[in-house]
Amino acid sequence: MSLTAYRTLGCSGLVVSPLALGTMTFGSGGWNADAPTARAIFDAYRGAGGNVIDTADIYAGGESETLVGQFIRDSGARDAVVLATKFGFNATATASGGGNPHAGGAGAKNIHRALDASLQRLGTDYVDLYWMHVWDGVTPVAEIVQTLGDLVRAGKIRYFGFSDMPAWVAMQAATIAAERHVPGPIAMQLEYSLVARDIEAEHLPAARAAGMAVMPWSPLAGGFLTGKYRRGATGDTGRLSGANPFGNSKFADRNWAILDVVKAVAGELGRPAGQVALAWAMAQPGVGSTLVGARTREQLDSNIAAATIRLDDDQLARLDAASAPTPGFTAALAAPAVRRLIFGGHDVAGW
């Protein structure tokens, strides 16, 4: 597969590459790519045929959007690019509080403010895919659907999706939109990797039922699944080393055991571990386009090469077994033994 193996994002007409370029690393910051490096990453991704650029108003204090907007203008490819950005986090919050509550969340007032500011930084008059970055826990879902649908009708955004929310929120939005014959969410953006498979319980089935694609973020678990960190080592470099905003939650016994299997498969294929982790994410049912993040051009090149890997059934089975999430209530309900109890001992096939 290559980046030009285009497909639609969920049940929509938005045509996307199998890998999307995440630009959380673009702009100033300790673990970020400076402007020339960010441009090289952007150019390499576009050169490989990639068409989805994902940013957010909050990344590097808006600098990521500014750089992305500049690169797209310089490339003259606005029409060919799927430009995605996000609203929801509040840039005015301080440790002692006192920020503007209208500068975050999914209320209509903030969405309009946030979109106008993003469009200004991006230097464009529309966004292709507008994400609710995070669920705020209070705004009625009907209001979110109304506001984002109005923006579609106004031509300021083409599509919208939800990130980091309970599955029921996206499902309720899809249901309201379908009943009212108005635009609904086309995708979910969620953490998904071999060491973070929680979304398989509720989000993936909800996405499938509502025709939404899933776009995994942190498919390398912030770099952990590249295998560059060593257990118990202190001198490793990278985003997860030393003092960092992501903590060391990836360095768990369970994750090191998963990484061992990733490395074994990588050894069989003669490929880096990170490429195997990306290939696994891309191969999961329901995944529409997988976000790749990079701090250097070399990292991006390696990540793009993951698209050419096809894991065989045995390799997928070993990776799945090593990383299987603990079945919760929902997964237990779907067990074959429960179905047989319901259908008089028969294995009834579903649609």
Site for ligand NAP in 75-114 (CB under 6 A): none
Size, binding site for ligand NAP by CB under 6 A: 30
Give CA–CA dist 213/56, Å, rounded: 19
Q: Is 24 in the site for ligand NAP (CB under 6 A)?
A: yes
In the structure encoding, which two tokens stand for residue 184, read together? Answer: 């609904």
User: Which of 6, 45, 59, 159 is flagged as catalytic?
Assistant: 59
Identified binder of ligand NAP from the candidate list 12, 66, 147, 163, rule CB under 6 A: 163
Interface pattern 175-214 for ligand NAP (x via CB under 6 A): --------------x-------------------------
- Does residue 59 have an active-site annotation? yes
Among 29, 31, 108, 339, binds ligand NAP (CB under 6 A): 31
* Least spacing, CB of residue 304 vs ligand NAP, in Å: 10
Cross-strand bridge partners of residue 159: 129
Note whether 11 and 186 are within 8 A (CB): yes
Which residues 297-316 are close enough to bind ligand NAP by CB under 6 A?
Answer: 299, 302-303
Contacts of 295 (CB under 8 A, 6+ apart): 25, 31, 32, 33, 37, 239
Task: Report if residue 295 touches ligand NAP, rule: CB under 6 A.
Answer: yes
> What are the φ and ψ backbone dihedral angles of 341, each rounded to 5 degrees?
-60, -40
Contact predicate 12/152, CB 8 Å? no
Looking at the Cβ atoms of 60 and 145, the one nearer to ligand NAP is 60
Amino acid 94 reads: T
* Closest residue by Cα to residue 239 from 254, 216, 221: 221
Which listed range, 65-73, 106-114, 216-224, 253-261, lies at the site for ligand NAP (CB under 6 A)?
216-224
Q: Does 262 contact ligand NAP by CB under 6 A?
A: no
Torsion of CA 51, 310, 192, 290, to 10 degrees: 0
CB-nearer residue toward ligand NAP: 233 or 342: 233
Interface pick for ligand NAP out of 51, 226, 255, 323 (rule CB under 6 A): 226
Counting contacts by CB under 6 A, is residue 256 touching ligand NAP? no
Binding range to ligand NAP, per CB under 6 A, among 24-32, 39-47, 121-129, 314-322: 24-32
DSSP letters, 31-86, are TSB-HHHHHHHHHHHHHTT--EEE--TTGGGGHHHHHHHHHHHHHT-GGG-EEEEE
Contact between 57 and ligand NAP by CB under 6 A: the answer reads no
Answer yes or no whether residue 289 interacts with ligand NAP by CB under 6 A.
Answer: no
Nearer to ligand NAP, 133 or 156 (CB): 133
158 scored as a contact of ligand NAP (CB under 6 A) = no
Q: Is 200 helix (H, G, I), strand (E, B) or coil?
A: helix
Alpha helices by DSSP H, 181-241: 203-210
Structure-derived torsion over alpha carbons of residues 283, 285, 288, 294, reported in degrees to the nearest 10: -40
Strands 127-132 and 157-163: parallel
Nearest CB to ligand NAP, comparing residues 139 and 163? 163
List, by residue number, the catalytic residues: 59
User: Which positions lie near ligand NAP, rule CB under 6 A?
Assistant: 22-25, 31, 54, 133, 163-164, 189, 217-223, 226, 228, 238-239, 274, 291-295, 299, 302-303
